[in-house]
Structure 1
Amino acid sequence: MKKSLIPALAAAVLMMSAAAVATVMTPTRRIVDILPKLDIEASIPQRFGDWQIDTRSGGGVVNPQQTELLNKIYSQIVTRTYVNSEGYRIMLSIAYGEDQRDGNQLHYPEVCYPAQGFQVISNRKATLETSLGNIPVKRLESHLSQQRYEPITYWTTIGTQALTGGTTKKLAEMRYGLRGEIPDGLLFRISSIDRESAVAFAKQAQFVEQMLPALTPDVRARLAGL
């Protein structure tokens, strides 16, 4: 064999090997087909604890993109406004996607709020402590033209693991991919129109604390990783 052909043959072998490995490692099994079916609209009670759906609310929940794009990214979207006995309102938005590969990633509030004209003035990680366990969250402070002040608490789940997004979310997706599985993903967001961020975050924590026991265990695991 001519020496000039050896490098070319070696390169061909390496390319075929890489292709074979890529084929083997390409996820093919969706975990949404393994886990219990999730129907978010039916699973979230309209009333729990001191909270009930505000039937007089005219909306106000910020959505990140136009409906056409939202429907492409997410398979389920639930937006509601709840009110308690004091008249305090919490806006809930849950966006769920069955396939969290690169073309179908969740869209985070620190990206979608500025796209709607808001200014995000703080963004920090925190731990939301509940009687059923702790949830890693992000807390944002935002305002629209210094008129609508809207503190936000959110987290994401991949399968049944709660995360704050970013690197931890990508690592979780990679772990599923190494098992040949395609993960689903969910973004759970609550916010309230309130100039007092400390008050807003306390009310949002109370909202989650009272909501979690009202969910079935399988739904609670998917929504909050608990």
Structure 2
Amino acid sequence: MNRAAPDWRLALALAALLLAAAWGVRAVGWPVRPAAAPAAPGVALADAVPRRFGGWAEVADGAVQVDAAMAANESAYSEQLLRSYQDRDGRTVMLTLAHIAQMHPYATPHAPDTCYAGAGFEIQSLTPAPRPPLMVRRMLAQRGLRREAVVFWMRLGDVYDPPSSAATRWHLLRNRLRGGPEDGILVRASQLLDVGDDPAAAHARLEGFLGELLAASPEAVRRKLRGP
């Protein structure tokens, strides 16, 4: 009879952990939105994301973007959109959208700092820049002579900027317990820097670009990028 006691305590501890996961993820520091309708996963980004908006227009650019699926399961992505846009002053921004229609603990959008490090970049800085409605991170990365300013966010269902892969899996487990699959997306904008360019100015430009993109996009695209 004494032998059963540790098993009973272990079962109770596991039940408590699952209950905590089911109640929410605020304890790990995620920004969370109230539960709402699905984030319009059916809209095709290639068709619906505007090719021209504000002072930006799509261009055929020769710059090679860092693959959002690098070191990850590329087949997990339902769609990837890679485009380059240019403003009236000739400055080019590279846009990456990588969407997963149905996530599970081992199929989530891949964090850019991991992708860039896997591609041989040194991550020189990575800082949050929460300015609603854009809950973004600013990153500065360099490989050889290529220096790149990056702004991005990751949405996993109704949460943004997950702090770790373990916390991500807890969130997905919680939602499975609640009975619903979720979609997820990586939204990334980046700019190549020349010698002497100010990274802070580039980051501000990228945030402005993403803000203009959201404002010019149809509601279905905004819901897909930002959620309900």
Q: Normalising TM by the smaller chain, what interval? A: 0.7 to 0.9
SS in 1 for 2:90: coil
Count of equivalent residues? 200
2:85 corresponds to: 82
What SS does structure 1 have at the residue aligned with 2:203? Answer: helix
Structure 2 vs 1, CA of residues 65 and 213 (structure 1 numbering), >3 Å: closer, same or farther? Answer: closer
Query: Among 163, 174, 187, which residue is 2:160 paired with?
Result: 163
Matches within 5 A, 1:173-184: 173-184=172-183
- Which residue pairs with 2:220 in the alignment? 218
Indicate the percent of aligned positions where both proteins have the same amino acid.
Answer: 25
Q: Which sits farther off after the overlay, 96-105 or 110-119?
A: 96-105
Q: How far apart are residue 90 of structure 1 and its match?
A: 0.4
1:40 lines up with 2:40 in the alignment: no
Structure 1 alignment gaps of length 5 or more: 26-32
1:58 alignment partner, one of 55, 58, 62 = 62
In structure 2, C-alpha distance between the alignment counterparts of 1:122 and 1:77, rounded to whole Å: 26
Match of 1:148 in 2: 146
- SS of the counterpart of 1:99? coil
- CA drift of 1:106 comes to 1.7
Shift of 1:34: 5.6
Tell me how large the CA RMSD over aligned residues is: 3.2
C-alpha distance in 1 between matches for 2:225 and 2:68: 20
**What's the offset of the Cα at 1:197?**
0.6
Which of 90, 94, 104 pairs up with 2:107?
104
Query: Secondary structure of 1:181's match?
Result: coil
Equivalent pair of 2:154/2:186 in contact (CA under 8 Å): yes
CA distance in 2, matches of 1:50, 1:191: 17
* Aligned equivalents of 2:187, 2:176: Cα separation in 1: 23
Secondary structure of the 2:187 match is: strand
* Local SS of the residue matching 1:165: coil
Runs (5+) with no aligned partner, structure 2: 23-36
Give the CA deviation at 1:192.
0.2
**Contact map agreement 2:68 2:98 (CA 8 A) in 1:** no
Report the CA distance shift for 1:64/1:218 in structure 2 as closer, same or farther (over 3 A): closer
The structure with higher relative contact order (CA 8 Å, sep 6+) is 2
Q: Kindly tell me: are residues 141 and 101 of structure 1, through their superposed partners in 2, closer, same or farther at Cα, counting changes over 3 Å?
A: same
C-alpha displacement of 1:94: 0.6
